[in-house]
Amino acid sequence: MKRFMNMLAFIGLCLVAFALLLSKILGLFNVNPSAVSAIQMVGECIAYIVTLVYAFYYIKNKRNVWWWVAYCVSAVVVVLLVILR
């Protein structure tokens, strides 16, 4: 599982970097980078998912309920803001 998550994190990072670089290059030529924003969104979603999973494994062994509350609230906020973008 850890190896898969590491690979997924790498793919997400590469997609975000590629999208940012491509949008910068297309911005120099005054081209509308709408397709680039889709690539960037996919990369960001992968990065968010990896972050949520690793954060879950971090708080899984915590005994205080406030860790779980903070995790759930943060996860809901991230998901809602990505959806309502």
Identify the three-state secondary structure at position 13: helix
41 vs 15: CA distance, rounded Å? 9
Angle between helices 65-83 and 34-59 (to 10 degrees): 170
pLDDT tens by residue, 29-50: 777 767 777 777 888 888 888 8
pLDDT tens by residue, 41-83: 888 888 888 888 888 888 888 888 998 999 999 999 888 888 8
What integer pLDDT is reported at residue 69 of this predicted model?
92
